[in-house]
Amino acid sequence: MRIIAGEARGVRLTNVPLGVRPTADRIRESLFNRLGQFFDGGNVLDLYAGTGALGIEALSRGCERAVFVEKDRGAVEAIRENLRRTGLQERAEIIRDDVGRALERLSGRDGTYNLIFIDPPYRIAAPEAGNVQVRLHALLAPDGRAVIESSSRSPEIVGSKKGESRRYGDTVVTIFERSDLTMNVAVCPGSFDPITTGHLDIIRRAAGIFDHVVIAVGRNLRKGPRLTATERAQLIETVTSDIDNVSVELMDGLLVDFAREQGARVIVKGLRAVSDFESEFEQAQLNRTLSPQIETVFIMSAAEYSFLSSSAVREIAGLGGEVRGLVPDVILDVVREIYSGSGDQTEATRQRIG
C-alpha cells in the first residue's frame, strides 16, 4: 500500500496489522477521482480508520487536519507509523476508542468535517450502524461529503436509495451529501425501572414512525432506583435487540439538551390515561419553552397496557406477586429476582445483566 497523490505521493505504508481490512489502492484511487484530486484545506474524520490510509491520502492531497478513530491497538500503532512515514503527524489526531463513544466526544466539540470516511467491519451490528448515522449529520459540514465503504451483505448505515454508489467486487463505496444523511430522529425518555411490556409497545410503535429512536435512560433520578442506569440500559438493549432502528443511551441533565446532542427534533412520550396528560402537558410546554424547535409527540398506550407502570411492577414483585406479562419474557427472571430478591441472589443476578 502507498499514498497515491499529493505531497506524500509514493510513500509506502507499513504492513497491515492482522485482522484489519484496508481499502485497496485501486479503490482508493477511484474514490479520490470521484471526490476530486486535490483539496484546499478542510478537516477530515476517518472512522474505523484501520491503517489510516484514507485520512492520510486526504491530508496528502491538501486537507488541513485529520482525526483518526480506531480502537485496535495494533491498528493505532500502524496509523502512527504511517503518519511518521508521510511526515503528516503534526496535522493529525488519533483517538483510540470505540466509534460510538468517540462520536459522542466529537459532537461536543466545536467544528465540523468536510470529509468523513466510514469503513466499518462488514459485520457491524445494525444498531451501531444506526448510531453512526445519527451522529454523522451533526458532524458533517454543510457542503461536506461522507464516504461509506461496506459489503453488499452488511447493514446499511444510510438508506440504499440515497447517495452515489459504486461496486468493486463485494465492496460497495457510497458518497453521501449532507442532505442524504438527514434522519427523522426521536428520543424516548424514561427511568425504565424496570422496562415494561407497555414501554416496549410504545418503543416498537415509535420505531415504525421515525427513522431512528434513541431510548434515553435517565441517570439523575430523585428516587434511588433498584438498578443502576447502566443496568437498566442493558435490560432495554436485551428486549429491543430485534428492532434495528433503536439505540439506547444514558442521559444526564436536561432532556432538550440531550435531544439536540442526538440530532433529534422529536420527544416521544406514552400516555396511559387522561391522568397522565396534565403532568406530560406541563413538561411538554416547559421543553418547548427551553427549545422551541423540539416537538413532543404523544402515543396513546394500547388498552391492554393502560394500567401498567414500572412502579406497579416493582410493588407486585416486591410483594411476591406474578409479573409475567407485565415485563418482556426475555427479562422476566431477572426482574423477579432483582425486584423481589435480596443479598447473594440479587448480586448474582446483577452480574448476569452485564
* DSSP conformational letter for 2: B
Q: Give tens-digit pLDDT for 271-330.
A: 988 778 888 999 999 999 999 989 999 999 999 999 999 999 999 998 989 999 999 999
34 is catalytic: no
Q: What is the CATH number of the domain that holds 126?
A: 3.40.50.150
The residue among 131, 166, 181 that closes a domain is 181
When mean pLDDT is compared across 9-18, 67-76, 294-303, the lowest value belongs to 9-18
Give the model's pLDDT for residue 42.
94
Residues 288 and 166 in one domain: no
Residue 205 CA to residue 207 CA, distance in Å, equals: 5
Last residue of a domain, one of 181, 204, 224: 181
Say yes or no: 196 and 310 in one domain. Answer: yes
Type and span of the H or E element at 261: helix 255-261
Inside any domain, residue 240: yes
- Report the candidate in 1, 11, 26 with the shortest Cα–Cα distance to residue 60: 11
Residue 333 CB neighbour total at 10 angstroms: 11
Q: Are 60 and 3 in contact (CB under 8 A)?
A: yes
Look at strands 43-47 and 212-218 and give their pairing.
unpaired
Task: Of 176, 203, 171, give the one whose Cα is nearest residue 188.
Answer: 203
Instruction: State the catalytic residue, choosing from 137, 272, 288, 350.
Output: 272
pLDDT at residue 350 in the model:
57
DSSP state of 156: P
**Which helix (H) or strand (E) is 145 found in, with range?**
strand 140-151
Pairing of β 266-271 and β 295-300: parallel
For residue 147, tell me if it sits in a domain.
Answer: yes
Q: Higher confidence at residue 68 or residue 253?
A: 68
Does 314 fall in a domain?
A: yes
Residue 7 lies in a domain: no
Q: Are residues 85 and 45 in the same domain?
A: yes
Can the peptide bond before residue 194 be classed as cis, meaning omega within 30 degrees of 0? yes
Q: How far apart are CA 38 and CA 88, in angstroms?
A: 16
CA atoms lying within 13 Å on the CB side of residue 331: 28
| CATH code at position 277 | 3.40.50.620
pLDDT at 16 over 50: yes
**Per-residue CA distances from 211 to 242, 243, 263 (Å):** 15, 12, 12
Final residue before a domain boundary, out of 166, 181, 196:
181
Same domain, 329 and 231: yes
What is the Cα 176 distance to its own chain's centre?
18
Domain membership of residue 95 as a residue range = 25-181
* pLDDT tens-digit readout, 141-196: 988 999 988 776 554 555 545 678 888 887 888 898 887 766 788 999 999 999 99
Query: Out of 199, 212, 269, 314, which one is annotated catalytic?
Result: 199
pLDDT of residue 222 exceeding 80, the answer is no
Least confident residue range of 14-18, 119-123, 350-354: 350-354
pLDDT of residue 31: 92
Q: Are residues 166 and 210 in the same domain?
A: no
| Residue of 159, 201, 209 whose CA lies nearest to 179 | 159
User: Chain-wide mean pLDDT for the chain?
Assistant: 87
Residue 110: which pLDDT band, with cuts at 50, 70 and 90?
confident
341 and 192 inside one domain: yes
Summarize pLDDT for 118-139 with one digit per residue, the tens: 987 655 555 565 567 667 777 8
149 and 121, same domain (yes or no): yes
Dihedral sign from CA coordinates of 60, 66, 72, 74 = positive
Q: Are residues 322 and 225 in the same domain?
A: yes
Active-site pick, 60, 154, 310, 336: 310
Among 30-34, 102-106, 240-244, where is mean pLDDT lowest? 102-106
Q: Is the pLDDT of residue 343 over 60?
A: no
Q: Is residue 310 annotated as a catalytic residue, yes or no? A: yes
Whether residue 210 sits in one domain with residue 307: yes
Q: How far apart are CA 321 and CA 57, in angstroms?
A: 63
Residue 285 cell numbers, joined: 410546554
Domain tally, the chain: 2
Q: Are residues 196 and 84 in the same domain?
A: no
| pLDDT of the residue at 160 | 46
Same domain, 169 and 288: no
For residue 239, tell me if it sits in a domain: yes
Q: Which residue has the higher pLDDT, 108 or 304?
A: 304
Q: Is residue 9 included in any domain, yes or no?
A: no
- Residue 12 in any domain: the answer is no
Annotated catalytic residue, options 109, 123, 223, 324: 223
Q: Is residue 17 part of a domain?
A: no
Helix (H, G, I), strand (E, B) or coil at 48: coil
C-alpha span between 137 and 158 (Å, rounded)? 11
pLDDT of residue 351: 60
Please report the pLDDT score of residue 154 as a whole number.
55
Give residue 17's pLDDT. Answer: 82
Query: Do 238 and 331 reside in the same domain of the chain?
Result: yes
* pLDDT value of residue 125: 54
Using a pLDDT cut of 70, give the percent of the chain over it. Answer: 87
In the chain, % of residues over pLDDT 90 = 57
- As a whole number of angstroms, the distance between CA 237 and CA 318 comes to 24
